[in-house]
Amino acid sequence: MPPEPFFAGPGIDRADALRNRPEQVAALLAKPEARALVWNSGVPALDSTGGLLWTKAAGDEPLFLGLDNQQPRFASLPPTAAGAEARAILAQLNLTDAPLFAAALSLSSWHLRHGFCAVCGSPSAIFRGGWARRCDACNAEHYPRVDPVVIMLATFEDRLLLGRQPQYPPGRYSALAGFVEPGETIEAAVARELNEEAGINVSHVRYIASQPWPFPSSLMIGCTAVATGDALIIDHDELDDARWFTHDQVITALAGGPAAPFLPPPPFAIARTLLDGWIADA
Amino acid sequence: MPPEPFFAGPGIDRADALRNRPEQVAALLAKPEARALVWNSGVPALDSTGGLLWTKAAGDEPLFLGLDNQQPRFASLPPTAAGAEARAILAQLNLTDAPLFAAALSLSSWHLRHGFCAVCGSPSAIFRGGWARRCDACNAEHYPRVDPVVIMLATFEDRLLLGRQPQYPPGRYSALAGFVEPGETIEAAVARELNEEAGINVSHVRYIASQPWPFPSSLMIGCTAVATGDALIIDHDELDDARWFTHDQVITALAGGPAAPFLPPPPFAIARTLLDGWIADA
């Protein structure tokens, strides 16, 4: 079985067919059982169990998130955007509500940065139950972004390559990653990023698992690849460092404690899922 | 070995590290060997061998596509956007130039529809060698979109599910597909789309291959999944029809001719790669 990353799972019924029926969405919003997401500094607020916190809908929430066992779920736009510190809350978030947390956060972040039509510069307005914006001036429609990112473990014999981004906490090493560009397959993006950031060439790119990452709206596509050599040329514009770690070093790091050769990525990151999977398979 | 879709392969060296060095990009553009893409009705023009057609750079092309054996490759923005008929040219395009064709077409299409800042509505300007836009009014940066789309074959015993979109040519059946939404894994998007469009539930989603699709800028993520039953509830807002085809019917369809039970997707579509792979594996 492939590993199951955090943020995986179906979440609630998105009820896509209703989004194009504004009168039905309005009727759902007017129901006494309709609930609205509570925001806290631009991110969904959590209750003491790590679940999403809800309140009775006021009736003016423009984002229709879906149906949770027939109970309509809505959100307003938060008054402020989430800051970089927002991801610390993931350590409290529970698995069941994680997909809906990610959807609500990405969707609201997109609206906050897309109030104007990119085609003509006029103000745009929310439609399709919050899952699109339309420009009345030029009739352009705009849809929320989902930005595919490849994140990968390159291996060479019994070692794998991890790197340090400048903003990481001290000691952290994790999988290298980068945005998929127009005109690329997933496999080509993995090969290009590893070559750009670490100077290695790879073959045998293999998809492992995926994960939404709502900061603001990435789709992390986790892969492995086999390097043709271990000589590194590190791009210091992107990385503080990159190095090869042995299987034993990775096991020791995942176990934690003072002997750990590096601080691994946290359990809610797909990089950790990839590391756990590599150890389980090796 | 996984199947190799059209548009796969590395294309040319994108030389990402140079994009942040405008003086170096300008020096490349001024070289006598710098070449500029020729546009034809909004799409890259092809020569008689199906390769991209190039001309000597004029010196004002804002899109730096990369280095082809050290020869700098640039593009201007085409005077018009590509229409829906543009994809017919894919039948002539050769495999080697396909990734660069896709990159140039997606990138230029994005610029044509993103002349204004979505954050504040002011005009934005090209920077990073054509791979981003910046707003001088509010300092927002905008990057080209790549929209992940899942496209999948659901199987049930020895049959697989194909559907007809309203705009297909007569007789065509192909894989079902839909955009990955914020907050979803690839696997969750596959399951949701199959449920929405065909009313089936699936498990065992498996990634097969990916393909850029530059109309305007999708990343097609090809998967298979196993249905838990064969009863269909077709969403006629999305599909004209959907039905199960046996292994033998698919083989007959791929062979073509008057006995073919349906017209399969063309060779340059990843749906065809998925069908070919299913037949080869079965």
- pLDDT > 90: what percent of chain A? 91
- pLDDT, one tens digit per residue, over A245-255 is 999 999 999 99
Count the domains in chain A.
Answer: 3
Q: Of the candidates B60, B95, B113, which is a domain's last residue?
A: B113
| CA-CA-CA-CA dihedral for B97, B100, B102, B105, to nearest 10 | -120
Confidence class for position A257, pLDDT limits 50, 70, 90: confident
Let me know: does B254 contact B274? Beta carbons within 8 Å.
no
- Please tell me whether residues B64 and B184 are part of one structural domain: no
Residue with tokens 């990481």: A168
One-letter identity of residue B175? A
| Domain span including residue A170 | 147-281
Confidence class for position B2, pLDDT limits 50, 70, 90: low
- Give mean pLDDT, residues B153-179: 97
Nearest by CB: B186 against A11, A182, A210? A210
Q: Does the pLDDT of residue B282 top 80, yes or no?
A: no
- Please tell me whether residues A274 and A163 are part of one structural domain: yes
How close does chain B come to A128, measured CA to CA in Å? 14
- Give mean pLDDT, residues B4-23: 91
**Contact residues on chain B for A102, CB-CB shorter than 8 A:** 182-183
pLDDT at site B217: 96
Q: Of the candidates A67, A93, A112, which is a domain's last residue?
A: A112
Confidence class for position B94, pLDDT limits 50, 70, 90: very high
- pLDDT, one tens digit per residue, over A267-277 is 999 999 999 99
**Structural domain includes residue B81:** yes
- pLDDT > 70: what percent of chain B? 99
Give the domain CATH number at A255: 3.90.79.10
**Structural domain includes residue B130:** no
pLDDT at site A3: 66
Q: Of the candidates B60, B91, B113, which is a domain's last residue?
A: B113
pLDDT at site A275: 97
- pLDDT, one tens digit per residue, over A59-98 is 999 999 999 999 999 999 999 988 877 888 999 999 999 9
CA–CA distance, A203 with B126 (Å, rounded to integer): 34
Kind and range of the H or E run holding A250: helix A247-255
Distances (CA, A) of B135 to A110, B129, B201: 17, 15, 45
- Please tell me whether residues B151 and B99 are part of one structural domain: no
CA–CA distance, B213 with B220 (Å, rounded to integer): 7
> What angle (nearest 5°) sits at the alpha carbon of residue A111, between those of residues A105 and A113?
105
- Please tell me whether residues A19 and A118 are part of one structural domain: no
- Give mean pLDDT, residues B115-135: 98
Inter-chain residue contact B148 with A145, CB threshold 8 Å: no
Global pTM reads 0.97
Residue B120 DSSP one-character state: T
Across chain A, mean pLDDT equals: 95
- Please tell me whether residues A7 and A36 are part of one structural domain: yes
- Please tell me whether residues A79 and A127 are part of one structural domain: no
- Please tell me whether residues A153 and A276 are part of one structural domain: yes
- pLDDT > 70: what percent of chain A? 99
**Contact residues on chain B for A103, CB-CB shorter than 8 A:** 181-184
Let me know: does A43 contact A79? Beta carbons within 8 Å.
no
Let me know: does B64 contact B34? Beta carbons within 8 Å.
no
- pLDDT, one tens digit per residue, over B32-51 is 999 999 999 999 999 999 99
One-letter identity of residue B276? D
CA–CA distance, A216 with B208 (Å, rounded to integer): 27
Give the ranges where chain B is alpha helix by DSSP (H): 16-19, 22-29, 98-112, 186-198, 247-255, 270-281
Distances (CA, A) of A215 to A8, A86, B66, B135: 16, 9, 29, 21
**Structural domain includes residue B6:** no
Let me know: does A217 contact A151? Beta carbons within 8 Å.
no
**Structural domain includes residue B64:** yes
One-letter identity of residue B159? R
**Contact residues on chain A for B217, CB-CB shorter than 8 A:** 182
**Contact residues on chain A for B192, CB-CB shorter than 8 A:** 10, 14, 16
- Please tell me whether residues B171 and B252 are part of one structural domain: yes
- pLDDT, one tens digit per residue, over A234-244 is 999 999 999 99
Beta-sheet strand order (sheet of A63-68): A54-56, A35-37, A71-75, A63-68
How close does chain A come to B104, measured CA to CA in Å? 8
Which phi and psi (to 5°) does residue B236 adopt?
-80, -5
Q: Which residues pair with A174 in a beta bridge?
A: A163
Nearest by CB: A183 against B11, B20, B148? B11
- Please tell me whether residues A124 and A229 are part of one structural domain: no
Q: Is the dihedral of CA B174, B180, B186, B191 positive or negative?
A: negative
Q: Does the pLDDT of residue A30 top 80, yes or no?
A: yes
**Structural domain includes residue B189:** yes
Let me know: does A230 contact A159? Beta carbons within 8 Å.
yes
pLDDT at site B3: 66
Confidence class for position B202, pLDDT limits 50, 70, 90: very high
- pLDDT, one tens digit per residue, over A222-234 is 999 999 999 999 9
- pLDDT, one tens digit per residue, over B248-258 is 999 999 999 88
- Please tell me whether residues B77 and B156 are part of one structural domain: no
Nearest by CB: A196 against B16, B114, B188? B16
How close does chain A come to B140, measured CA to CA in Å? 9
- Give mean pLDDT, residues B133-157: 98
Across chain B, mean pLDDT equals: 95
- Please tell me whether residues A139 and A217 are part of one structural domain: no
Residue A11 DSSP one-character state: -
Let me know: does A5 contact A210? Beta carbons within 8 Å.
yes
Let me know: does A95 contact A9? Beta carbons within 8 Å.
yes
**Structural domain includes residue B132:** no
Q: Does the pLDDT of residue A29 top 90, yes or no?
A: yes
Q: Which residues pair with B68 in a beta bridge?
A: B71
CB atoms near residue A40 (< 10 Å): 13
- Please tell me whether residues A187 and A243 are part of one structural domain: yes
**Structural domain includes residue B7:** no
| Residue numbers of A between 222 and 251 with CB closer than 8 Å to B | 235, 237
Both tokens of residue A262?
A: 């590096």
**Structural domain includes residue B3:** no
Q: Is B15 left (phi over 0), alpha (psi -120 to 50) or beta?
A: left
pLDDT at site B83: 84
One-letter identity of residue B236? H
Instruction: Tell me if residue A9 falls in helix, strand or coil.
Output: coil
